[in-house]
Each structure stands twice: as structure tokens, then as C-alpha cells.
């Protein structure tokens, strides 16, 4: 038995968690993985795969019971993201993005908001998280989208860029600045926008290197009106809410990257065990074994670090930002390295579109860029050592 089968066997899942994970892996293998190449080639929404996730009720595992959910551990949620992403990174990010968009509502929303909005999510609706703008990327505080109060409504003007599932999401958590607060950071506010809100439209869908089945949309708001009751927390509380939420979405992004890394690892090992050159299998060359050993060591450590971060979050701790950054940084760098080596070990065949490793290499790159570029994460980790 190899080290990964042993690691998986020794992971301490409850009976219910084990049953659900087995179901997710079966659906990933039978429905999601076989469709992934086609959706990538067609650059279309992976409907069968998303429907399969909905049929399994996977949104319900992160929605509280009071709002129609059937909550399970955060660690299990991460394992589900990893398993789906291993089969299809695009489907994995669509699923994870609903969590990223709705977790702040679960953690900071009012009772009325949760009762009104969360049952739809529990039943499989999609969500988006809209922060980035043309001039506000790594520095989200530079955002310009404006929220102007008008009686019982808030008027939204501005635009968002690169929003995952922005065109298909039923609910979007949108960040902007409260017009009555004159402070670049203190004005940031979050509110929920529903699909089909008049004045909200999609300006375009990006053509991308990877994740081609996951749409990345531009959004425009011109006098779009939402009820004031859709504000999360109070006007001006958006930045604190954003930072707290990112700490929970970054481990999820790490799990997604580890899914890509695991897929690349499996394809690489399988090929190395069969491809023969100079009378020996590619895996028989010691230099290649050393390369595998380094990657496997990194994968095992990254998986275990993610379990550690999940335990911190489940334990109710508030201070896990650096740990979340370490998880995101290492998992995404590993996904890129693993996919690169997987292509390399396939030789010329790895460069051909027929094989999955070609897609994995394209899918891996963005994991180093989104949810805070890895430069930003290195900064967050490094500056935590500065004496104050």
C-alpha cells in the first residue's frame, strides 16, 4: 500500500463523513471527471457536474440546519473541494465559490437575511464573491463601487472584474464603498445582490488559460437597487468582514489546488510505471524517483497542514490568518510544480491536449494568483514576524 492510501485510511472520519466522502468520490469518478475535458474544450458551464453536486446536496454541508442545511465539519468540506477539484478544477472552483460567497452571510448575516436567503443555497443555488475591480486587485481597498442609501434601498454604481460564476450565480456578495463615509478603508461595505436585479448586468466573460469551464465575468452596476435589508452587518464593517471571510476561503482555495496536485501526481505515477525507454520504465530511473519523493513529501505535508488549519477553524479560534496563508501559498505552489513535472514526465505526450496533464498545467497557474497572489501571502506571512 502506498503512503497516500495509508494516510487516507488513517484519517479520522466519522461514519457519516466517510459515507459522504465515498459518495463524492464515486460521483467525481463517474460523472465529473469523464466530462471535464469536454467542458474545458467547449469552454461551457459544466452543467452535468454541477447538477451532480446539487443532487448530492453538497451545499447543505456548510449551511446551518436552521436554514435547511445538514452541516458537517469544515475539514470534510475541504476534502470534498479537493475530491471534486481532482476530477475537474472548474467544477471544484464553482462549488467552492458558493461557499466563499455565502460563508460571510452565514457568519455575519442577520437572522432575517439567513432565513430569507440561505435555504436556496442549501438546495443548490450558486453564489459569487465580488471584490476585484479594474484598479483594485491585490489592494482591494482601492475599490470604487459606490453604495448610496436611498430610503429603504441602496443604489449601486460601479463595476467588478474577474468574478467567478458572476453570470450564473443566484446570489452575489458584493463589496463597495458607502457614500456617506469618507474613509478609504472605513467605507467598505458588503451587501447581497440577487441575479436579475435591474441595473445589474454582465459586461463580458473572459477567455482564459485554464479553468475554461468556470466562467469569469465582468459586472456592471448602474443605479442597481437592492433592499437596505441586504447589507451584511453595518455600513463600514465590510473590511473586517472581508478579512475574516478570506481566512476561511483561503484554506478552501488550498484544498482546490491540492485537488489539481493530486490529479497531476496520479497521472504522472501511472505513466511513469508504464512508459519504457532504454529498456527501463521511466519510474526506474533514480533521478525521477528523487523528484517523486520530493513532491510526495510536499503533498503529504500540505494535506496535513490543511487538516491542522481546519482544526484551528473548527476550534473557534480567531487568529489563523497566517496559517491560512501558509496553506494557500504551499498548496498552490505545489499544484504548479506538480503539474509542470507531470507534463515533463509524459515527455512530448504531456504537451498534447489529449492527455489530462495538459489541462492540469493550465488549471494550476491561477491558484498562485487568486485569493491573494502568492507574493501577497509571502508578505502576510513574513510581516507577522516584525516586532511591533
Q: Which residues are catalytically annotated? A: 371
H or E element that contains 240: helix 238-272
- When asked if residue 162 is in the footprint of ligand FAD (CB under 6 A), the reply is yes
Taking the complex as a whole, how short is the minimal distance between the CB of residue 214 and ligand FAD, in angstroms?
7
What does DSSP assign to residue 366? Answer: G
- When asked if residue 369 is in the footprint of ligand FAD (CB under 6 A), the reply is yes
* Backbone torsion region of residue 280, taken as left when φ is above 0, otherwise alpha when ψ lies between -120 and 50, otherwise beta: beta
CA gap 334, 328 in Å, rounded: 10
Q: Which of 181, 202, 311, 376 binds ligand FAD (CB under 6 A)?
A: 376
48 close to 35: Cβ distance less than 8 angstroms: yes
- When asked if residue 221 is in the footprint of ligand FAD (CB under 6 A), the reply is no
Express the helix, strand and coil content of the chain in percent, nearest 5 each: 60, 15, 25
Task: Report the site for ligand FAD in 180-219 (rule: CB under 6 A).
Answer: 208, 211, 216
Query: Which residue number places its CB atom closest to ligand FAD?
Result: 137
Mark the segment that binds ligand FAD (CB under 6 A) among 28-36, 42-50, 159-167, 252-260.
159-167
The site map against ligand FAD for 45-64 (x = CB under 6 A) is --------------------
Taking the complex as a whole, how short is the minimal distance between the CB of residue 210 and ligand FAD, in angstroms?
8
Taking the complex as a whole, how short is the minimal distance between the CB of residue 30 and ligand FAD, in angstroms?
27
Mark the segment that binds ligand FAD (CB under 6 A) among 80-88, 149-157, 294-302, 374-382.
374-382
Helix, strand, or coil (residue 99): helix
Rg (CA), the chain: 21
Using CB under 6 A as the binding criterion, the count of chain residues that bind ligand FAD stands at: 21
CA gap 183, 75 in Å, rounded: 37
CA dihedral 28, 33, 39, 45 (to 10 degrees): 10
User: Which is nearer to ligand FAD, 93 or 224 (by Cβ)?
Assistant: 93
The site map against ligand FAD for 164-183 (x = CB under 6 A) is x-------------------
User: Which is nearer to ligand FAD, 134 or 293 (by Cβ)?
Assistant: 134
* Backbone torsion region of residue 64, taken as left when φ is above 0, otherwise alpha when ψ lies between -120 and 50, otherwise beta: beta
Q: Which of 118, 126, 366, 380 binds ligand FAD (CB under 6 A)?
A: 366
Task: Report the site for ligand FAD in 126-155 (rule: CB under 6 A).
Answer: 128-132, 137-138
Taking the complex as a whole, how short is the minimal distance between the CB of residue 300 and ligand FAD, in angstroms?
28
User: Which is nearer to ligand FAD, 137 or 149 (by Cβ)?
Assistant: 137
CA angle (193, 363, 75) in 5-degree steps: 65
CA gap 16, 23 in Å, rounded: 11
CB neighbours (10 Å) of residue 155? 17
Residue with cell string 450564473: 168
Mark the segment that binds ligand FAD (CB under 6 A) among 124-132, 267-275, 302-310, 348-356.
124-132
- When asked if residue 370 is in the footprint of ligand FAD (CB under 6 A), the reply is yes
Taking the complex as a whole, how short is the minimal distance between the CB of residue 96 and ligand FAD, in angstroms?
10
Residues 368, 204, 229, 111, CA torsion sign = negative
- When asked if residue 163 is in the footprint of ligand FAD (CB under 6 A), the reply is yes
Helix, strand, or coil (residue 124): coil
**Total number of residues shown for the chain:** 388
Taking the complex as a whole, how short is the minimal distance between the CB of residue 191 and ligand FAD, in angstroms?
15
Kindly list the residues in this chain that would bind ligand FAD in the complex (CB under 6 A). Answer: 97, 128-132, 137-138, 162-164, 208, 211, 216, 366, 369-370, 373, 375-376, 379
Amino acid at each position: 500500500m502506498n503512503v497516500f492510501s495509508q494516510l487516507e485510511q488513517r484519517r479520522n472520519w466519522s461514519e457519516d463523513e466517510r459515507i459522504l466522502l465515498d459518495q463524492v468520490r464515486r460521483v467525481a469518478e463517474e460523472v465529473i471527471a469523464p466530462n471535464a475535458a469536454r467542458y474545458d474544450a467547449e469552454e461551457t458551464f459544466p452543467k452535468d457536474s454541477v447538477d451532480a453536486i446539487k443532487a448530492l446536496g453538497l451545499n447543505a454541508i456548510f449551511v446551518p440546519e436552521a436554514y435547511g442545511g445538514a452541516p458537517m465539519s469544515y475539514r470534510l468540506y475541504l476534502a470534498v473541494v479537493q475530491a471534486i477539484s481532482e476530477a475537474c478544477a472548474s467544477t471544484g472552483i464553482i462549488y467552492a465559490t458558493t461557499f466563499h460567497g455565502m460563508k460571510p452571510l452565514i457568519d455575519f448575516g442577520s437572522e432575517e437575511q439567513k432565513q430569507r436567503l440561505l435555504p436556496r443555497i442549501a438546495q443548490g443555488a450558486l453564489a459569487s464573491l465580488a471584490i476585484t475591480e479594474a484598479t483594485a486587485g491585490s489592494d482591494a481597498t482601492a475599490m470604487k463601487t459606490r453604495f448610496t442609501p436611498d430610503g429603504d434601498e441602496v443604489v449601486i454604481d460601479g463595476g467588478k472584474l474577474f468574478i467567478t460564476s458572476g453570470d450564473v450565480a443566484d446570489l452575489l456578495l458584493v463589496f463597495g464603498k458607502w457614500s456617506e463615509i469618507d474613509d478609504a478603508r472605513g467605507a467598505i461595505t458588503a451587501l447581497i445582490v440577487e441575479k436579475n436585479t435591474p441595473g445589474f448586468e454582465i459586461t463580458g466573460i473572459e477567455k482564459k488559460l485554464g479553468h475554461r469551464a468556470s466562467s469569469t465575468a465582468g459586472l456592471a452596476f448602474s443605479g442597481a437597487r437592492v433592499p437596505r435589508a441586504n447589507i451584511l452587518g453595518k455600513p463600514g464593517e465590510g473590511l473586517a468582514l472581508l478579512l475574516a471571510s478570506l481566512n476561511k476561503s483561503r484554506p478552501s482555495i488550498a484544498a482546490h489546488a491540492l485537488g489539481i496536485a493530486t490529479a497531476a501526481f496520479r497521472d504522472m505515477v501511472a505513466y511513469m510505471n508504464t512508459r519504457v525507454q532504454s529498456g527501463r520504465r521511466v519510474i526506474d530511473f533514480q533521478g525521477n524517483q528523487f523528484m517523486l519523493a520530493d513532491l510526495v513529501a510536499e503533498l503529504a505535508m500540505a494535506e496535513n497542514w490543511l487538516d491542522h488549519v481546519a482544526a484551528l477553524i473548527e476550534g473557534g479560534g480567531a487568529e489563523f490568518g497566517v496559517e491560512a496563508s501558509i496553506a494557500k501559498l504551499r498548496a498552490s505552489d505545489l499544484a504548479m510544480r506538480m503539474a509542470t513535472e507531470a507534463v515533463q514526465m509524459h515527455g512530448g505526450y504531456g504537451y498534447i491536449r489529449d492527455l489530462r496533464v495538459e489541462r492540469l498545467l493550465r488549471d494550476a497557474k491561477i491558484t498562485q494568483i487568486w485569493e491573494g497572489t502568492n507574493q501577497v501571502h509571502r508578505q502576510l506571512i513574513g510581516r507577522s514576524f516584525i516586532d511591533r
